[in-house]
Amino acid sequence: MDTPPAVKDKPEAQAPASVRGDLEFRGVSFRYGQGEEVFRDLNLTVRAGEYVALVGASGVGKTTLCALLPRFYEPREGAVLLDGKDVRDIPVEVLRRSIGVVQQDVYLFTGTIAENIAYGRPGAGRKEIIEAAKLAGADGFIRELPGGYDADIGPHGVRLSGGQQQRLSIARVFLKDPPVLILDEATSALDNHSEKAIQQSLERIAGQRTTLVIAHRLSTVRNAGRIVVLDENGVCEQGTHEELMELGGVYAGLYRASEEI
């Protein structure tokens, strides 16, 4: 807790009056330490309110790319922009408050169901917490637990299944209601029925925010407004599912391979 953060605010950093959610990765290059570059001179623009899926083989930098947006890491070259402003010129607290992240690894805390969802927006009322749980497809199992929303989930949520933990994490970010949403394999621990329910919820609210979805199960992103395909050289293909299948390139190969599994 006493370790100084590596990412710090510039003295001249200013909070924007509001955040629309326009994103741009401009000539971005990045590598971990002295290792090989994850990507070099990558360029990508995402319009406010757009629902974009990032796909590609393991190790091409999908998660790393999204981690640059809230400044979990800094690019070696180039810039990441939010509404045309370099994220390094925005106070970190304001930047991260504008971005919701749901990762494959879920972080829950000792306490009740309601308290864990409320981490998304401290001070939220019970009605708002329940509505967020409904959007995440979690309300049903919560009400079946002894104590319902006041049920104690134990350290790290050990009293819940992996799928239940993930739905609470998704409910938390729905409660936060950020203009930019990043879903990194967010439905990986769910069965097909639960995953479909959450996908429908995501699609309902996608028009209200910029959404970046990282998925290995390509069937979950068929309805994305745009699919961006990454390879070792950066962005190699873009388009809808139908356009990319007709192209017969990298995405088509990945999709056919996933269908055979």
Q: pLDDT digit of tens for each residue in the chain (261 aa)?
A: 899 888 889 889 999 999 999 999 999 999 998 888 898 999 999 999 999 999 998 889 999 999 999 999 999 999 999 999 999 999 999 999 999 998 888 899 999 999 999 999 999 999 999 999 998 889 999 999 999 999 999 998 999 988 899 889 989 998 999 999 998 887 776 777 777 777 777 776 777 799 999 987 888 888 889 999 998 888 999 999 999 999 999 999 999 887 765
Q: Where are the domains of the chain?
A: 51-59+102-260
Look up the CATH number of domain 51-59+102-260: 3.40.50.300
Q: How many CB atoms are located within 10 Å of the residue 190 CB?
A: 22
Distance CA 180, CA 22 (A): 9
And the tokens for 98?
């504008």
Q: Which residues of 155-173 are buried (b: 16+ CB within 10 A; e: fewer)?
A: eebeebeebbbbbbbbbbb
- Give dist(CA 104, CA 214) in Å, integer: 10
Can you give 104-118 as a three-state secondary structure string?
A: CCCCCCCCEHHHHHH
pTM exceeds cut of 0.75: yes
